[in-house]
Amino acid sequence: MEIALVLSLLVIAVVLFATEKVSIELVTLIMLIILAGLRIITPEEAFAGFGSDFIIIIASIFILGAALEETGILDFVVVSLVRLAQKSHNLVLLTVMLISGIVSAFMNNTTVTAMFVTPLVGLSKRINTNASKLLMPLAYASILGGTCTLIGTSTNVAVSGYMNKIGLEPVGLFEISGIGLIIFITGIVYMMTIGRRLLPSHEDQQLAEEYKLHKYLTEILVMPDSPLAGQLVFASDLTTLNFRMLNIIRGNENFLPDFRTRIEAGDILLVEGEMNDLLKVKETKGIEIMADVLLEKDLETDLIRLAEVMITPQSDLINRTVRDVNFRSRFGLVVLAVSRYGETLRSTITSIPLRMGDVLLVQGTADQLTRLRTSPNLALLDEFEALLFKKKKGLIAIACFAGAVLAGTLKIGSAQILPLSIAFLAAAILCIVFGCIGTGKAYKAIDWRLLILIGGMTAFGTAMEKSGAADFMAHGIVEILGPLGRHAVLSGFVLLTVMLTQPMSNAAAALVIVPVALRAAVEMQAEPRTFAIAIMLAASVSLVTPFEPACILVYTPGKYRFMDFIKIGTPLTLLLLAVIIILVPIIWSL
């Protein structure tokens, strides 16, 4: 009975994670309540993951990364190295991947990608290339660079913490560096050869005519004197302006128009179109954009500008609407339209819950837009100016980070100088004490949703063990693949992990599979640690779809299609899986 309950909860969680109808942290906490309420796990077991040292490590790394960004040192490094690479586009591509991969070996890859998106969009304009040629390699390199150290991804830290919890030796800080470097270099070689040729060249005109991507959603008010009044929706003047009609709001009624629907004065039309077409609306009598109140009669003047801004991973705007956050009064900007990677939105602008990676078309003064450079909530995509490099504080932040790495790895005799969690926590606190980052910004830098997810899924792993669900699944997999040998069983778990990372986060998928794989290893008298490390690495190389947060961040700015990721990411994922399946049993005995 308990096995059926736990597996049913797992299926429900996968569906909810995939659809995102309910936020992932809320799903995780509800699962814990159910598991503890049904006495499958105790309250202590349900919340043990939140008090684990690996949670402290992840939170501390978020703060250290934010401190490096706040001091301007990462911008300084990016600008300095990219200038050296401007001699050729191939050299730019190689430099982008090397820098992002190296940095992400010590920082969360989503954070690294978010920090590099704005500079690369600006760089692509300066060197006259498409952002699509740089942003996907950036995301892939950031993801693969995270496989080089224990702290490179939250998945590595979470799996290592789970291993320690059940009595296995945790993963060392640089234990996976050898195979991680091979994975990273394989990814770079692929992207510089095969991947580079497959990268799309999504220019605005090509995008509008061929793929109909990067569309904006906006609202248009039909004035009493508008010639649109009385026209059939799909034969109206808006059609000549390249707008696509989605919904009509008429009084208290919100409905989808059909071929018989006629436009009436006072209607609010929810339409989808290109940014350049929005400019034509102001030239048409009787039509007004009313996504928000415009600052001037014209969308752009000498003082007023249009710009694209992206919702960052740490933004407190996520899951909140433009109306909820009082966007205009808070940022001094008017939201004209919203673009979400390949998805057609059918709600009014002010009622759309914002997501990470959403791109907003905003209107405001140059000063108001410039202030966004220091905002943790929005990234300005139309240009890039490096933050003022605070050299002294930047060096302090680097010293704290390096000190934490050394103190957590070096040993005096047989003991470490400091436990890894204490070393990184001390480094984060020192950055705050020395003013590298303020306390408020330090709290905002932490991805609390990720910490809740990892802590909760750790408890779910405990539930799978106690209920017998892990034994049940492990026995089934061993029965099917066992006759083919241990290597086949390991390969099966690696492939299963990659499949599960499509609807779930990498960390959640790994924490679901690891308890099952460890049971299977014990049943086959194989080395459990080898299985855990293989699954940990497999969870970090799933590049088939753009659902990985780092890929979501580049989807809209790069104007990609869903198929772009499948076409480029699938061969690379299969290649990296082969590396893992072949090398892990050699490095760690099976």
- pLDDT single digits (tens) 165-191: 888 999 988 899 999 999 999 999 999
Q: Is residue 238 part of a domain?
A: yes
- pLDDT of 149: 92
Between residues 297 and 247, which one has the greater pLDDT?
Answer: 247
205: confidence class by pLDDT, cuts 50, 70, 90: very low
Query: What count of other Cβ atoms lies within 10 Å of the Cβ of residue 288?
Result: 16
Q: Is residue 368 part of a domain?
A: yes
Q: Is residue 466 part of a domain?
A: no
Q: Is residue 245 part of a domain?
A: yes
Q: Is residue 184 part of a domain?
A: no
- pLDDT of 469: 84
Q: Is residue 343 part of a domain?
A: yes
Q: Is residue 548 part of a domain?
A: no
What residue type is 165 in one-letter code? K
- pLDDT of 176: 94
Q: Select, from the ranges 37-46, 215-224, 370-379, the one with the highest average predicted confidence (pLDDT).
A: 37-46
Residue pair 489/138 in contact (Cβ under 8 Å)? The answer is: no
HSE at residue 555, side-chain half, CA atoms within 13 A, is 28
pLDDT in tens, 485-510: 889 999 999 998 888 887 777 888 88
Helix axes 73-84, 53-70, angle to 10 degrees: 60
Q: What angle do CA 539, 542, 545 make, to 5 degrees?
A: 140
Cα-based torsion angle of the residue sequence 403, 405, 406, 409 in order, rounded to the nearest 10 degrees: 150
Looking at the structure of the chain, the number of domains it has is 1
Between residues 124 and 467, which one has the greater pLDDT?
Answer: 467
Is the pLDDT confidence value at 334 over 80? no
Domain holding 325: CATH number?
3.30.70.1450
298: confidence class by pLDDT, cuts 50, 70, 90: very low
Question: What does residue 546 show for φ and ψ, rounded to 5 degrees?
Answer: -85, 25
Distances in whole angstroms, Cα of residue 179 to Cα of each of 112, 148, 517, 566, 588: 21, 7, 20, 25, 11
- pLDDT of 489: 92
What range defines the domain where residue 381 resides? 212-387
Q: Is residue 226 part of a domain?
A: yes
H-assigned helices in 20-153: 24-37, 43-47, 53-70, 73-84, 89-104, 109-126, 132-145
535: confidence class by pLDDT, cuts 50, 70, 90: very high
Beta strands in 171-314 (DSSP E): 216-222, 244-250, 253-255, 268-273, 287-289, 304-311
455 is written with which tokens? Answer: 């802590």
Mean pLDDT computed over every residue of the chain: 81
351 is written with which tokens? Answer: 């009622």
Residue pair 291/349 in contact (Cβ under 8 Å)? The answer is: yes
Is the pLDDT confidence value at 78 over 80? no
Give the contacts of 246 (CB within 8 A, at least 6 positions apart). 217, 256, 270, 271, 272, 344, 345, 346
